[in-house]
Structure 1
């Protein structure tokens, strides 16, 4: 009975999240409470389940809140502006360097773990260059997506924070063993960008030759917008998404204002960021403490005074609180799932249905299917709905939940999030780039999957993901 209710709960949550019927908080907190009541548990018992579940995610939620505030303040102060400017200068007018520069810019912009910010910085900076050279906008969105995706593995990114909440591990502990695989992924992305740039250069050269031969035919000339299914971008205020036919408004308040820039504090901010990241990797203190202290120092030094600090916190509170409330709601779901005994019953049922020979390879299977699963499950649906069941199944055969989580992080909503229509930032990517959703997914999915598989191989070689548990 408990297994049936548990699976119905997961199915209901997935259905609500996949169809965008309600907010993630409503699905993750409301459905489990109803399920627990139907299972015969009283308010007192449910309160205990919820308290235990919240205790398991409060550290991750705290880390995420202060990480968003910290990197938001750094962006306001202009820490990333010199990096962006140099990458744009490096890109020049050669398609190869333009593509490589686009990937590097996306990786640098995604240091704060926010996809929307990455796309708002990278696409407007590189789009005029792509159009001027006659390069495909699909190549632009692919390069940006690959750069952002490989960096979405960072511990203050959404997928790792969610995985940490489900496994009970610190986000930092999940991420550190995957650093070598992430580095390999970053190198792979740069190589792919080089290849895409080289292919674009050849295409443009061939088009120019064809144009010079065909009298009056200017469709393929350099400087003309190629036939990529793109929709012209109407300034910074509202690019049109051809596939959904709606205008995506860009929030100009998210952009740093000149009065917020702190060029004299550039080196201090850079040193502070390096120290925070170094201590995070070294595990000197908990991530939530490091980002809390880092945010306090950043606010005091860059924006002294109550009024300025309050405005900076308010400016970044929307994104921070949205993720924090989602994580806390997930704690309610996980607490009820585990405290009621549903997860054990569900795992036993699934374990009986799973061929015994395939169970030891579960991390490998999850890692290999991470990118295509991003088309089916959004981050909340997978990490809070599917992963607990996968972990429960794995534990029936002695497979570590940490291994499953780390394997999933190599593709599911990390490298795979720029092709996932189940995330809001995806529509910002295709909207700012002015490309058709279907063509963008088809153009990017193969490259994203390749990067994920290369990272999975690297993780297996370094021992982060077991080949056979």
Structure 2
């Protein structure tokens, strides 16, 4: 019963998000409560589950609020202007090059294996570039997600560490045979970014964007465009694709000499994040305090800067808290545990020898149903047990899982906190982001799986 209600709950949430029927807060906070009530849990018990879930996302929520204010202040102060100018110069105003550079930046930023850090570095750096060129923010979120996803297979990343704990195999031993497939995945991600950039170029050229026309060798003068129009390629008509309105420079720009102070502060902050010397929310809180005190002395000016970025921060903070409630209810009611068992039982006995291949093929869409803990600690052990009965190596099942489930699939999974950080920083609609990105993620995953099969890491059929 719990498994069926769990699948119905997640299915209803995904349907509501993908069809834009309600806001994410309503779907994530409301539907699980109904599911718990159907299972017979009291409001008091549900409240306990919600409290547990909220505790799990409190740090991420605090980090998001302070991070959005910090990067907002830095953007207002013009700290990203040289970066934008440099990237634009190297890319030649070409959307294809910008998208490839964005994915490459995400790959490098994700070397520490932390999705939150990657998004906090890549999105604020590239968002002004996309806005200046009139490119869709959906394309930005997808390009960053592809780079982060394909690098999430690193042994110090979450999925591989969890798989190692479940299988009893060292994380490095799981990962090393997959290095060639991961390298191919990086190339595939960059190729997808190039294709996304081509779509953006065609869309902007169809709108008569002078920057893109000039870059394509057509008559026109350099400039920027507005949001995409309806009926064009993915990202068209997205309000988030439009450049953000320019703030009053007299109020937001501190004296020019402060540029180097802001740059040094940001480098120190990002370095501290990657070194893990303190929780991210603590670091960003300290960064906001220093940035406001130095750039905008005085209570009135500081209040204005906080208010200027409060709307975006609070919208995503409420979404994160709703997601915490959702996860708390799923775990507390036992829905996740029963879903894992049910999913394993659905596999026909005759298909068991092909379990590694099946798992690899459906890894990305499985990320919409199971978060990393639920899959690697709940589903994977059951799948390994089924496989053992038919002589299927559990390590192969784990490695196949790492080619999609919460690796390339984590940037489209509403079951992870960093997913909400990605869509929140990029300011894109959750449902539209999932629809825009999931095909690209799945393609990269399948390419890696095909290479792993070709090199003998993943068996087609266990003998």
1:173-212 correspondence runs (5 A)? none
> CA 1:241–1:362 in 2, change beyond 3 Å: closer, same or farther?
same
Aligned to 1:327: 320
Task: Check conservation: 1:152, 1:415, Cα contact below 8 A.
Answer: no
Partner of 1:258: 249
Measured after TM superposition, the shift of residue 284 of structure 1 is 1.5
Counterpart in the other structure of 2:23: 23
2:262 aligned partner: 269
Unaligned ranges ≥5, structure 1: 128-139, 156-161, 168-176, 199-220, 226-232, 418-422, 429-439, 461-465
SS in 1 for 2:408: coil
Change (3 A) 1:257 1:22: same
Q: CA deviation at 1:63?
A: 1.6
Q: Determine if contact 1:279/1:285 at 8 Å carries over to the other structure.
A: yes
TM-score by length of structure 2 reads 0.62
Please state if 1:337 is matched with 2:323. no
String of CA shifts for 1:68-118, please: whole Å, max 9, x gaps. Answer: 22211111111110111123334459x7xx853564378779965786995
For residues 54-453 of structure 1, the aligned pairs below 5 Å read 54-92=54-92, 99-100=96-97, 103-104=100-101, 112=120, 118=126, 121-122=129-130, 124-125=132-133, 147-150=143-146, 222-223=217-218, 236=225, 239-243=228-232, 248=239, 254-259=245-250, 260-262=252-254, 263-354=256-347, 356-357=352-353, 364-365=360-361, 370=364, 373=365, 383=368, 390-391=375-376, 392-397=378-383, 407-412=404-409, 414=411
Aligned pair count reads: 374
Q: Deviations over 1:354-395 (max 9, x none)?
A: 36556567874455xx4xx5xxx9xxxx55777776453224
The equivalent of 1:202 in structure 2 is: none
**Cα distance in structure 2, aligned partners of 1:298 and 1:312:** 11
* TM-score normalized by the length of structure 1: 0.61
Structure 2 residue 1 is the aligned partner of structure 1 residue 4: no
1:72–1:316: 8 Å Cα contact kept in structure 2? yes
| CA distance in 2: counterparts of 1:282 and 1:248, whole angstroms | 36
Work out whether residues 33 and 329 of structure 2, in 8 Å CA contact, stay in contact via their aligned partners in 1.
yes
Asked if 1 retains the 8 angstrom alpha-carbon contact of 2:123 and 2:140, the reply is no
3-state SS, counterpart of residue 240 of structure 1: coil
Query: Quick one: structure 1 residues 46 and 406, their matched pair in 2 at CA, closer, same or farther if it must change by over 3 Å?
Result: farther
Task: Give yes or no for contact 2:131–2:244 (8 Å, CA) kept in 1.
Answer: no
Q: Could you give the per-residue CA deviations for residues 427-447 of structure 1, whole angstroms, max 9, x where no partner exists?
A: 89xxxxxxxxxxx97xx9997
Query: What is the CA–CA distance in structure 2 between the aligned matches of 1:362 and 1:296, rounded to whole Å?
Result: 50
Matching residue of 2:37? 37
Is the partner of 1:411 in helix, strand or coil? coil
Contact 1:46 1:336 in 2 (8 A): yes
User: How far, CA to CA, are the matches of 2:40 and 2:66 in structure 1?
Assistant: 39
Gaps of 5+ in 2: 107-117, 152-157, 164-174, 199-215, 385-393, 415-422, 430-434
- Is the alpha carbon distance of 1:246 and 1:184 closer, same or farther for their aligned partners in structure 2, counting shifts above 3 Å? closer
- 2:138 and 2:241 in contact (8 A); partners too: no
